[in-house]
């Protein structure tokens, strides 16, 4: 993807540029070729800087370059103070039914259901509406420390239309309780021994949907939304796990009951033990708001100076502190990147003064202003699903 093909300066893609857009989809292949050069797979380092390898990571650790249409994860050792915004070509990619290529000239976003005005927007209609931009980072609800080292994570600047503007224009009727967001991607699901077609979809109660930070995003880091991230329009629900951010958005439907499709009712559902009144019960919940989480992803060395770097994600509640503990030492405050904002990821770093030679364990924890402290993994509730892994993540490494 060459930059001048994808970014059109201010106003993203016009319908008249359809031919050019077709070309950029194919140009993705060329980008893949560039991406396979070894420099891409290895973390960017400043002159004289070297990474200190983690001993919990295989020595030959690498990941394949991003492939058009495929899934992708970030080498989190790439996260440094110069990569506050994740490069669009390296932002993680997850989808469950493959990537639909929507026809931009016939693209329509339909607003249906319990509304006063059923509306249809073309891409040009959406581009002509007032736009705002926001930094937001998110991770997949299935992100995990092992194997991919938290790689299903990224942070970007998003630009688009306020969701509440669209919902207000449609006029939600009093019986409207739940807003369902459908993607243009459809898969076959076996439900009760019957195969049915279902589009990827997620839903929100009206109050959550009306938050003024929610966006129909048309741009990502100053470029038209890339194909893999939902071209031409995706939902962005800041502070929620990635699954809420419906890509290739084609329909918004208002209904009077909760939506129970696969990604709300069966998948991306956490099963955990909770207190319900005075009973301990196994409770299922849809993956929604990002739990308070920090993770160390990088230790670098410049001559004799060592730096520990990591990221924090949460639901947007302001933070009190991020702390790092080395071996059995005290918790020490890390510094939070001043570019952080409410819904961006918060990068943190801490100098590591005179680490002794030998094996070390380092771990971080974040605390928000309400006094919530990131728990250790053993303090997390007993859980039977792979979603929502936010306990403290100790990392090990050897200083030579």
Separation CA 390–CA 366 (nearest Å): 11
The one among 93, 167, 224, 236 contacting ligand MTE by CB under 6 A: 93
Separation CA 74–CA 352 (nearest Å): 25
Binding partner at 160 among Mo ion, ligand MTE, none, C-beta below 5 to 8 Å by kind: none
Element (H, E) at 106: none
Residue 92 binds ligand MTE, judged by CB under 6 A? yes
Residue 388 binds ligand MTE, judged by CB under 6 A? no
Question: Residue 81, SS3?
Answer: coil
Closest residue by Cα to residue 271 from 115, 383, 346: 383
> Which residues, at least 6 apart from 380, have a Cβ–Cβ distance to it below 8 Å?
390, 391
Residues of the chain by 3-state class (helix, strand, coil), percent to 5 = 15, 40, 45
Tokens of 320: 């009190």
Please identify, using beta-carbon distances, which residue of 94 and 210 lies nearer to ligand MTE. Answer: 94
Binding partner at 185 among ligand MTE, Mo ion, none, C-beta below 5 to 8 Å by kind: ligand MTE
> Which residues, at least 6 apart from 302, have a Cβ–Cβ distance to it below 8 Å?
46, 48, 49, 50
Residue 67 binds ligand MTE, judged by CB under 6 A? no
Q: How far is the CB of 151 from ligand MTE (least distance, A)?
A: 11
Per CB under 5 A, which region of 87-95, 99-107, 315-323, 328-336 contacts Mo ion?
Answer: 87-95
Residue 261 binds ligand MTE, judged by CB under 6 A? no
Residue 246 binds ligand MTE, judged by CB under 6 A? yes
Q: How far is the CB of 249 from ligand MTE (least distance, A)?
A: 7
Element (H, E) at 201: strand 194-205
Residue 95 binds ligand MTE, judged by CB under 6 A? yes
Residue 243 binds Mo ion, judged by CB under 5 A? yes
Residue 183 binds ligand MTE, judged by CB under 6 A? yes
The one among 41, 51, 94, 336 contacting Mo ion by CB under 5 A: 94
Interaction mask 203-222, ligand MTE, x per CB under 6 A: --------------------
Residue 230 binds Mo ion, judged by CB under 5 A? no
100-128: b (≥16 Cβ within 10 Å) or e: bebebeebebebbbbbeeebebebeebbe
Task: Count CB atoms within 10 A of the CB of residue 266.
Answer: 13
Please check whether residue 216 is in contact with residue 160, taking contact to mean a CB–CB distance below 8 angstroms.
Answer: yes
Task: Count CB atoms within 10 A of the CB of residue 343.
Answer: 23
Cβ-closest position to Mo ion: 140
Residue 140 binds Mo ion, judged by CB under 5 A? yes
Task: Count CB atoms within 10 A of the CB of residue 278.
Answer: 5
Residue 102 binds ligand MTE, judged by CB under 6 A? no
Interaction mask 138-167, ligand MTE, x per CB under 6 A: --x---------------------------
> Which residues in this chain contact ligand MTE in the complex, by CB under 6 A?
91-97, 140, 183, 185, 200, 229, 242-243, 245-248
Give me the residues that bind Mo ion (CB under 5 A), please: 94, 140, 242-243
């Amino acid at each position: 993807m060459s930059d001048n093909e994808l970014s059109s300066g201010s106003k993203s893609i016009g319908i008249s540029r359809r031919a050019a857009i077709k070309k950029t989809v194919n140009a993705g292949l060329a980008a893949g070729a560039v991406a396979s050069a070894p420099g891409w797979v290895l973390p960017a380092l400043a002159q004289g800087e070297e990474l200190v390898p983690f001993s919990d990571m295989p020595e030959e650790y690498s990941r394949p370059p991003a492939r058009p249409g495929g899934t992708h994860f970030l080498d989190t050792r790439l996260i440094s103070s110069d990569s506050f915004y994740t490069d669009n070509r390296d932002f993680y990619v997850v989808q469950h039914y493959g990537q639909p290529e929507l026809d931009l000239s016939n693209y329509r976003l339909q607003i249906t259901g319990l509304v006063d005005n059923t509306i249809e927007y073309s891409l040009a209609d959406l581009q002509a509406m007032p736009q705002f931009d926001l930094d937001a980072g998110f991770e997949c609800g299935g992100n995990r420390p092992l194997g991919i080292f938290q790689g299903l994570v990224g942070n970007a600047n998003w630009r688009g239309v306020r969701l509440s503007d669209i919902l207000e224009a449609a006029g939600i009727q009093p019986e409207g309780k739940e807003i369902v967001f459908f993607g243009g991607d459809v898969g076959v699901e076996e439900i009760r021994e019957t195969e049915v077609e279902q589009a990827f979809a997620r839903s929100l109660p009206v109050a959550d949907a009306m938050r003024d930070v929610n966006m129909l995003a048309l741009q990502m880091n100053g470029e038209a939304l890339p194909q893999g991230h939902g071209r031409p329009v995706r939902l962005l629900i800041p502070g929620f796990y990635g699954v809420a951010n419906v890509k290739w958005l084609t329909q918004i439907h208002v209904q009077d009951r909760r939506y129970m499709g696969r990604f709300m009712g069966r998948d991306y559902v956490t099963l955990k033990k909770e207190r319900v009144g005075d009973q301990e019960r196994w409770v299922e919940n849809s993956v929604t708001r990002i739990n308070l989480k920090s993770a160390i992803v990088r230790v670098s060395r410049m001559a004799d100076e060592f730096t520990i770097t990591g990221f924090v994600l949460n639901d947007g509640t302001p933070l009190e502190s991020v702390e790092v503990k080395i071996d059995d030492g005290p918790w020490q405050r890390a510094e939070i990147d001043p570019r952080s904002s409410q819904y961006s990821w918060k990068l943190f770093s801490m100098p590591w003064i005179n680490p002794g030679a030998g094996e070390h364990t380092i771990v971080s924890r974040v605390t928000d202003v309400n006094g919530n402290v990131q728990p250790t993994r053993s303090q997390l509730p007993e859980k039977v699903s792979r979603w929502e892994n936010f306990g403290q993540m100790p990392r090990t490494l050897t200083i030579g």
